[in-house]
Structure formats: structure tokens, C-alpha cells
Amino acid sequence: MLSGLTPGLSALPHGAHAQTAPAAAASVTIKGHLRDAASGEALIGAAVGVKERPGTGAVANEYGFYSLTLPAGTYTLIVQSLGSARQERRVTLVAGQNQTLDVELRADGQQLQEVQVTSEREDQNVRSTAMGTMTLKAAELKKIPALLGEVDVVRAVQLMPGVQTAGEGTGGFYVRGGGVDQNLILLDEATVYNASHLLGFFSVFNADAIKDVNLIKGGIGAEYGGRLASVLDIRMKDGNAKRIAAAGGIGTIASRLTLEGNLGKRGPVDSLGNRAPAPGSWMVAGRRTYADVFFKLASDKSLRDNVLYFYDLNLKANYRLSARDQLFVSGYFGRDASGNKTFGINWGNATGTVRWNHLISDRLFSNTTAIYSDFDYSLGSKIENSAFTWKSHVRDYSLKQDFQWYLNPANTVRFGAIGTLHRFLPGDIKPGAGSYFNRITIKGTDATEVAAYIANEQQITPRLTLNYGLRASGYANVGPGKTYGYNDPSNPDRPTDTTEYKRGEIIKTYGGLEPRLAGTYALNDQASVKASYNRTRQYLHLLSNTTASLPFDVWTPATAVIPAQTANQWAVGYFRNLKDNMFETSVEAYYKTMAGQIDYKDNAQLLLNDRVERTILTGTGRSYGLEFLVRKQRGPLTGWVSYTLSKTERRIGGINGGDWYPVRYDRRHNLAVVGSYQLSSRLNLGANWTYVTGGAVTMPVGKFVYEGTAFPFYSSRNGYRLPDYHRLDLAVTLDDRVKPGRKYAGSWTLSIYNAYNRANPFSIYFREKEDQPGETEAVMTYLFGILPSVTYNFTF
């Protein structure tokens, strides 16, 4: 963050006197949207306070909308957002005349080319009931040193407390003991099933297209459901509603270009030079790697024929249909492809969201969403006699209705419902012409999921705020499909009877309540204690026998055999801000139990297995930990330090003799230091350092000989540790000199991944010593040594 930000002020100080209006006074509602002055982007989480009534206020929702109901009278509204200059507006509310007040905030002390959309009330960290959450703005994200210069959302998330990775070269993240499939990854409300590119080295989110990233790992609100462990809520930029703008970058492995602009006629320019936004805006962002372009130049013919690339395309548009209606359409298309002349594989996600914001009344905000999400992969061989194409997909169709009811300043009620149809095609292999292969189709069953929720955030006293909610979810695994009975004791894998289900016929149902509770008690203006409990349910599983982010992962619905998952999480925390909210600190402890967890029989074959449930073993899991965070979001030096002490285990009958065993991503210590220092108006230094206990692995404890060949036999599951992981990344960004009147601005970023060239373990294997046959040695493989890269970014 840059210097010269808002001078310290204790936002919305709350006194000890009662603040709600007496029922007799006529109440008037003032509502509107809070936006960034430069681009017209909605300011999520910006705050409106009332100077005359300390403790009373409203926070802008995901669309920048706020609604505040006050007794008639004259007030001074304080509108503020971290990183923006605060504004005061004098309003007179007359009984019977609700008002609309849209406010645009100008980025404060910022250079023009870096429109940093930061928001959040400064003491939000202490005041809100949210715990176990962390929000990153796109601008912040871009300052974290990146692998090969590709700014990456998931890599940034991995630096947050309570988040683990399965090691370098693996995709995904693991939140408070949850599996990689237990994260609800939302891109403009659409579920993203596989967030990895290129085996997990990069994530599918193009940072240029993103407004902000919010990770919720505890105290998950009732409006979210369907996954057990966390919500990673990623919002795309709306697009600039004031002018056509472009941003892009040329990097070591990929290039990016984002175009955005207004939709419809732009408004007039006011006396301060502010242009009123157009009724709509659009944004198109693309990114593509170009390693394969260099393959073409290779002298080696086999390399020249190789294909290896990925691309992302983000599209978004919104239009204000009337003062009460706004329509948003967003889409994402991404794909990875690799292969050569004889084999090819490609995979990707496609998501689409249509949202309609409607103000039913000045206090009742409605959002209706239609969502489509698809993840598919296909691979094929062109070799004569054995040519085939193999396709697999998971598809979601959802309809969602959410309401936010700003009942009064002390109560904000959220309620809504969602229905989803999941369709699965685990695998369909078609033989090519002249192939001797048989066609193999593993048909998936369908699944429907419905949920309704209601939650209220209530300020009970000026010090105590509770957010209590309930979500009820129901699920049905439906035909077409088959279930099998297994009653042959001599061959327990042989199905003895088959039950056939027609389309839409219910095979198995699951469901239940999911209470969500969170509360915060302010000890004073700068400190609070918080507690939360939430139960979450999940009806899908990702079947993956490996930790790598392979596109072959099979998603499966809960069935008569594969159980639904539930988790209960309890958390307590102490939050304290220091030096006028300059530093945010927190300590959180959590305990989580998980049921319906799955693992696999030894040597299970998951691909193309039409009775995959026979390979699955079920059991329970538990995780507990302590998370420390110190974060600084203002001043020339910004960043955070996070430390997590945690333990995650599973107990599954048939594995490890039925005893608890650590999961692979169980890591005792996890320390991350993320810093960014604005050295001068043009020069920014970024650094991050992580230190993590090595992942748990299973190792051979002996060898035996069969048919003259030595084979290993193994320890208890995950009974060993890889060596510890640590790494330092650095980045230097040099901005072009600012020239008045010129829109074009560029910057160079030099990033160095793994700056001190640490050999971090990717794996350990054993081999015979070359010079001493019969002697075995341990060999560690590691992926990246020191890896510098240069990126040029521009906006105009």
C-alpha cells in the first residue's frame, strides 16, 4: 500500500448509549450504491456511518449497495473505505420520503495508474462477526512475488493462516484440515470445480479480471453451502463504467490483456471533474501461455510436435435497467491442452452466471442468479489400431434467490434458496476407426441439491453482535443408474443383484440442518473476542488417489454407498487492532470434526471403474489448530505474518489397521511472512517467506524378493515426514514516471522465485547406488531452483 493514506481515525466509534430509534419516530430509509470514483466499480464492504449516532451504520454488500434506516432528521453521513479518502455528506431525512444517495470515493494518495480498490471499514476486523476470513484486494495480490510473474490467487491464499498445501507442484489448498474438494470456489457465484492450470502450478484466475478474493474458513455464513471446509469467493471486476480502459502484461510464460468500458451513455461531468458513470459496463480479460510457440522453434522434431498451453477468458457485463434493477452477466472459459502427434489431453472449466439485482423496497434487496458450471476433460490417442477418445465431465445447473432485508440498523436479515442439478459423466471412451478397443461408458447418476437459509446479523448491544442462521439442505441421488448388491462371500467384489433406476427416480437421499452461529463481543474500540460454530454438509466427493491436481480426478455424487459428508467446526478468537487500526492482529483456535470422509482401498483403480464405490472406504476426520495473524494494510510497509499450528488426522476402517493417521497435508507448523514496501513513488519491493513442516508420507520399512526382483513393503500410512519446506520469493516493481495528461502507464516487475535456491522436496525415492550395487540410497527430487522472471504490465 502507498504512503499518505487516511490519517488514523477510529471509525464509527461506538458509545455505550442505546442507538436504535424509538419506534414512535417516523423512520426514513436512505439507500444507494458506493463506488470507486475512477472506474465506477462497486466498493464491496465500504461503510456508511452516522456522525450523530455513533455505532449506527451500514456496510455495502457484494454489489456496493447499502441501506440505512434512521428516524427523520438531519445527519452527517461518513462514507469510507480503506484506501479511499473518506467523504462526509449532509442529509436531511424527511418522514415519508426515502432517499437515494450514491457516493463515489476517490482513491486516496494513490497514483492514478494504480486504481487500488480497497475497501472495508478500518476496524471491520474487530467489529464484524466474521472470523476465520481474510480478504485480499487485487492490488494487494499483485504485490506478492509470483511464480514466473503470474500473479496467482491460490498461491496467495496458501499464505493465509489455516491454509496448507500438499507441496510444490500440487494444486489446490487445504483449509483447516479439509480436503481440496471441500473448498467452495466461487467465481461470480459459479462453482469452479478445478482451479488448476498446468498440474497446479498456476490457478485459473487471471488477477487482472478480479476485484477481490475472500477466503472464509470458519464461521461460514448460512448463505454458503455445498462444501465442507471453506468458501473462496472471487469477484470479477465489473468493468469501468466511465471510460474505455485497458490493462495488460507481457510475462515470461504468458501474456494478458483486459479491456473494459462503459455500456450506454456516460453521465455528465460535475464541477469537481467527476464523470457520472454510464448505466452499464463491460470487461473482457484474456490470458494465454506461449511455451508451445517456442516448441515450434525447437530443432528436436519430437519436441516441435508437442502442444502445451493454457488460456483463460473472463467476460462480464452489467447494465442498470432502472433505478431498481441491475443485470449482470459473467462468464469464464479456460482450458489446458497438452499432447503431441499421437496423444492429446485437454481440460477446462466453463462457468456462466446471470444475476439480476432488484430492489423490492428501499430496505429489501433481491438477487436472482442462474448459474452454469462445467468441468470436463478429454484425452485421445491417434495411434492406429488403438485410437480412442475419452471424455468426462461434471456439470451444474443452479438457480438461486437471495434476499437482504435491512430491517433496521441493528438487524440485517439474509434469506434465500438455491437448487442445483449436478450431472456426471465419469468416463466415455470411444474407439477410433479400426481400433480393437471396445467402447466403454461409465454412466454417472444425476444429483439434485436444494437448500434454503435464513440468517440475521443483530447488534444486541453496542458491544455484542450476533450472526445466527440456519441452512437446511436436501439432496437426492437420482437415476438413470444402477445399484449393485454384493452377497457373494467368495468374491465380495462380484455384484450379485442389480437394481435399475429410471431417469429422475430417487436412488438415495441425504439432508439435514446446518446451524451457523457467530458472535463478537467488543472489549473496547480496538479489541474483541469472537466465537463461532458451524455445521456444513457436502454431497459430492472428488475421487482422487493422488495429491497432484490431475485433470483425471473423478467427481462423484453421494450414493447409496458413498456417504454424504458433514463437518462441525468450533472456533474462538481474540482480535485486536493496534496504533489506530494500523495493525490488525488475531489469534484463533479451531476444532473440527468431519464425518463421511473417504479414502481408497489399497491399489484402487478409480478411472473407468463402473463400481467405483467398491474401492471406497469411509471414516471420520478431525483437525485442530491455532492460528496467529498480524496484518498491516496502511503505510509504506504492508503485508502480514501468519503462523499456524495444527494437526489433521483421519480414521478409516481398512486403512492403517483402523487407527488414526495423518493426512498427507497435515503440517505441524506453517509460517508465512508477506511484505510489500513502497520505497518511493515509483519503486515497490515485495517479499514473502514461508516455512512449513514437511508433508506426511508412507515409506518402505523393508524389502522382499519375488521372482528375483526386490520389492518394498510399507510402513503405517503416512508414518514419515518429508524434509521441511521453506522458500523466499522477491519482487521489485518499477513504475513509469507519471506524466500529466497521459493515460498510458507501464511498470516492470522482476520476480525471483525461491531466491536462496532451496531444494524443497517434491518426493523421496530410493534407488540402488550406482557404484555400490546392492546398496540403496535415498534420492530427493525437487522442482524449482532459483527462478527469476520479468513481467511488463501496462494500463491505459
CB of 666 to other proteins, least distance (A): 13
Cα–Cα distance list, 633 to 124, 163, 213, 585 (Å): 12, 20, 15, 11
In the complex, what is the shortest distance from the CB of residue 333 to other proteins, in angstroms, rounded to a whole number?
A: 22
Omega prior to 277 cis, within 30 of 0: no
Binding mask 457-496 for other proteins (x = CB under 8 A): ----------------------------------x-x---
**In degrees rounded to 5, what are phi and psi of residue 691?**
-135, 120
Which residues inside 557-616 make contact with other proteins, applying CB under 8 A? 600, 602-605, 608
- Contact assessment for residue 540 and residue 563, using Cβ atoms and an 8 Å cutoff: no
Q: What residues between 397 and 436 interact with other proteins by CB under 8 A?
A: 436
For other proteins, give the closer residue by CB, 87 or 715: 715
Of 671-730, binders to other proteins (CB under 8 A) are 697-715, 717-718, 720, 723
Beta carbons of 231 and 541 less than 8 angstroms apart: no
Q: Is the Cβ of residue 437 or residue 574 nearer to other proteins in the bound state?
A: 437
546 binds other proteins (CB under 8 A): yes
- To the nearest whole angstrom, how small is the minimum distance from the Cβ of residue 682 to other proteins? 33
- Residues of span 494-533 touching other proteins by CB under 8 A: none
Nearest residue to 106 via CA among 38, 31, 4: 38
Figure out which of the listed residues 379, 410, 454, 730 binds other proteins, where binding follows CB under 8 A.
379
Q: Which is nearer to other proteins, 542 or 608 (CB)?
A: 608
Q: Does 545 bind other proteins (CB under 8 A)?
A: yes
Q: Is 611 helix (H, G, I), strand (E, B) or coil?
A: coil
Choices 81-89, 265-273, 386-394, 747-755 (CB under 8 A): range interacting with other proteins: 386-394
CB nearer to other proteins: pick between 512 and 785: 785
Using CB under 8 A, which of 23, 24, 323, 778 touches other proteins?
778
Integer Cα distance of 87 and 85 in angstroms: 7
> Could you give the CA distance from residue 555 to residue 180 in angstroms, rounded to a whole number?
12
From the list 11-19, 76-84, 348-356, 544-552, the region that binds other proteins by CB under 8 A is 544-552
Site for other proteins in 93-152 (CB under 8 A): none
Q: Specify the stretch interacting with other proteins by CB under 8 A; choose among 27-35, 167-175, 585-593, 666-674.
A: 167-175
Three-class HEC string of 188-241: CCEECCCCEEHHHCEECCCHHHEEEEEEECCCCCCCCCCCCCEEEEEEECCCCC
Partners of 309 in the β-ladder? 337
Q: Site for other proteins (CB under 8 A): which residue of 440, 572, 630, 673?
A: 440
Q: Cell digits for 477?
A: 441421488
Q: Which is nearer to other proteins, 591 or 762 (CB)?
A: 762
Tell me the sheet residues that pair with 352.
Answer: 331, 372
Q: Binder to other proteins among 169, 226, 416, 662 (CB under 8 A)?
A: 169
Start-end of H helices in 426-488 = none
Cβ atoms within 10 Å, residue 767: 10
Give the contact letters, 639-678, x = binds to other proteins (CB under 8 A), - = no: -------------------------x--------------
Of 294, 748, 756, 766, the one binding other proteins by CB under 8 A:
766
Q: Which is nearer to other proteins, 270 or 768 (CB)?
A: 768
C-alpha cell at 429: 471412451
Of 244, 360, 383, 506, the one binding other proteins (CB under 8 A) is 383
- Does residue 205 touch other proteins according to CB under 8 A? no
Site string for other proteins, 211-230 (x = CB under 8 A): --------------------
Nearer to other proteins, 161 or 172 (CB): 172
Q: Residue 417: left if φ>0, alpha if ψ -120 to 50, beta else—which one?
A: beta
Our CB check for other proteins shows the closer of 270 and 659 to be: 659
Q: Which stretch binds other proteins (CB under 8 A): 19-27, 383-391, 414-422, 670-678?
A: 383-391
Of residues 432 and 635, the one with the C-beta less far from other proteins = 432
Which one, 166 or 220, has the nearer CB to other proteins?
A: 166
Site for other proteins in 281-310 (CB under 8 A): 301-302, 308
* Near other proteins in 17-36, by CB under 8 A: none
Q: How far apart are CA 19 and CA 56, in angstroms?
A: 7
> Shortest Cβ distance from residue 519 to other proteins (Å)?
40
Residue selected from 294, 744, 748, 765 as contacting other proteins according to rule CB under 8 A? 765
Place of cell 430491517: 407
Beta strands at 230-236 and 183-187: parallel, antiparallel or unpaired: parallel
Minimal distance, residue 686 CB to other proteins, in Å? 23
Quote the distance between the C-alpha of residue 541 and its chain's center: 18
Question: How far, in Å, CA of 554 to CA of 394, rounded?
Answer: 9
Residue 22: CB atoms within 10 Å: 8
CB of 270 to other proteins, least distance (A): 54
**Binding segment for other proteins among 8-16, 107-115, 575-583, 769-777 (CB under 8 A)?**
769-777
Q: Which stretch binds other proteins (CB under 8 A): 58-66, 161-169, 397-405, 531-539?
A: 161-169
Nine-digit cell string for 462:
453496542
Q: How far apart are the first and last CA of the chain?
A: 21
653 three-class SS: coil
Element at 791 (helix H, strand E): strand 787-795
Count of residues near other proteins by CB under 8 A: 82
Site for other proteins in 231-270 (CB under 8 A): none
Grid look-up 499450528 returns: 645
Distance CA 200, CA 76 (A): 50
Partnered with residue 569 across adjacent β-strands are: 534, 592
Considering only 257, 561, 776, 792, the residue that binds other proteins (CB under 8 A) is 776
Cβ-based nearer residue to other proteins, 484 or 677: 484
Find the shortest distance in angstroms from Cβ 709 to other proteins: 5
Q: Which of 87, 86, 55, 82 is nearest to 68 (CA)?
A: 55
> Would you say 271 or 487 has its CB closer to other proteins?
487
SS3 of residue 155 by DSSP? helix
Alpha-carbon radius of gyration of the chain: 27
Among 52, 488, 500, 777, binds other proteins (CB under 8 A): 777
Q: Which residues are CB-contacts of 742 (< 8 A; sequence separation ≥ 6)?
A: none
- The residue (of 97 and 342) whose beta carbon lies closer to other proteins is 342
Tell the smallest beta-carbon distance from residue 293 to other proteins (Å). 16
Grid cell for residue 324:
431498481
Beta bridge partners of 730: 687, 752
Minimum CB distance to other proteins, residue 594 (Å): 19
Among 231, 550, 554, 629, binds other proteins (CB under 8 A): 550
Show the cell assigned to 787: 527462478
Q: Which of 156, 157, 198, 672 binds other proteins (CB under 8 A)?
A: 198
Which positions from 319 through 358 interact with other proteins, judged by CB under 8 A?
A: 338-340, 342-343, 345
Phi-psi region of 526 (alpha: psi -120 to 50; beta: other; left: phi over 0): alpha
- Segment (H or E) for 395: strand 388-408
What is the smallest separation between the CB atom of 775 and other proteins, expressed in angstroms?
5
Least Cβ distance, residue 291 to other proteins (angstroms): 9
What's the CA gap between 43 and 63, in Å, rounded?
7
Using the rule CB under 8 A, which residue among 65, 390, 424, 475 binds other proteins?
390
Count CB-CB contacts under 10 A for residue 165: 26
Give the Cα separation of 695 and 675 in Å (integer): 26
**Helix residue ranges, H only, 231-372:** 291-295, 301-304
